[in-house]
Amino acid sequence: INQVMKFIFEDLDLHYSLLPTRDAVGTFRTRQGNCLSFVNLFVGVARAKSLNPFYIEVTDYTRWNHRAGMVVSQRHIVAGMYLDGELKTYDFLPYRPKAYKKFNPIDDVTAAAHFYNNLGAEALMDGDLAKARELLTLATRIQPKLDKALNNLGVVLARSGDWDGALATYQKGLALDAANPMILTNVARVYQQTGRAGEADKVLSQVEETNNTNPFFYVYQGEVALSRGDEDKALDYMVKALRLDSEAPEVHVGFVKVYLAVGDMEKARHHLERALQLDATNPEALRFATMLGK
């Protein structure tokens, strides 16, 4: 294991890159990757050395990836291995110590579904709905119980105007996790888009009640408020997020968006600097840094 750690963390000079998700060979060749890319490489190299690593889903705060009113889902993955009967985990995130609430070892089939879910989510965020649908359908066929892939496939269907198909797909996800906040939020979005405002409000109230300690939920709510032109409400949500976690770069990026909207450049720059201090690789922070000439 020491040889594997030296090879990956020292000899390769790996650099964190959020996009795209790469397989083990792609990560090795480019020397870049996100958390799942890194785990693919770690597992491959460690197994080549006759070790027995595996993939682990971890639960911390749910991060809300907001795109055009809907939430795209990706789960953080780390590598795991039992050494002297004790579970050890190996992570590759570029900022701040992590305090995960739960570890869930998964098999290679589920890990493969996560891989295609990541690729599908990336295509979705790039606006390539055809590619996203193909990849996410593959993910759900590999592992029909992967609620993240079902959520994202529902988003693709909703974006394509297939509201009934989206709701049917979301219901498959809710059958696995009835309180899934991202799927419920997307269900509410479909209700809003199809004139069922009362049902949408009821679902959103349910989501807020169960996510009132999640800073990323308030960042999401702030972005939704901002998209509707309600800067005061957006700022209120960002303040709530900051009170829950002042060390999350996404919270400070949220403040950047609000202060840019109201024209307060000084405060926008302050929060941008803080976001980059916490995570120099954050793509949204880097985009705003370019915009603001930092």
Assign 291 a pLDDT band (cuts: 50, 70, 90).
Answer: confident
**CA distances from residue 269 to 59, 89, 221, 253, 283 in whole angstroms, order as listed:** 31, 36, 22, 10, 16
Please report the pLDDT score of residue 91 as a whole number. 83
d(CA 39, CA 53): 10
Examine the pLDDT at 67 and tell me if it is beyond 60.
no
3-class DSSP state of 284: helix
Q: How far is CA 198 from the centre of its chain?
A: 29
Q: Which tokens in the block code for residue 37?
A: 């890319």
Kindly state the average pLDDT of the residues 39-63.
Answer: 87
Helix, strand, or coil here: 126? coil
* Mean pLDDT across 221-247: 89
* Rounded-to-integer distance, Cα 287 and Cα 236, Å: 24
Looking at residue 102, its pLDDT comes to 77
List residues bridging with 88 in a β-sheet.
81
Asked if residue 96 has pLDDT above 70, the reply is: no
pLDDT digits (tens, 9 = 90+) for 50-61: 999 999 988 765
pLDDT of res. 204 = 83
Cα separation of 259 and 160, whole Å?
33
Beta strand ranges found along the chain (DSSP E): 15-16, 32-33, 54-59, 65-67, 70-72, 77-83, 86-90, 102-106
Is the Cβ–Cβ distance between 91 and 78 less than 8 Å? Answer: yes
The whole-chain average pLDDT of the chain stands at: 88
Q: What is the pLDDT of residue 211?
A: 74
Q: Mean pLDDT throughout 266-291? A: 88
Per residue in 116-175, pLDDT (tens digit) is 999 999 999 888 999 999 999 999 999 999 999 999 999 999 999 999 999 999 999 999
At 294, the pLDDT band (50, 70, 90 cuts) reads low
On whether the CB atoms of residues 12 and 28 are closer than 8 A, the answer is: yes
φ/ψ of residue 185, rounded to 5: -65, -40
Counting residues of the chain whose pLDDT is more than 90, the rounded percentage is 53
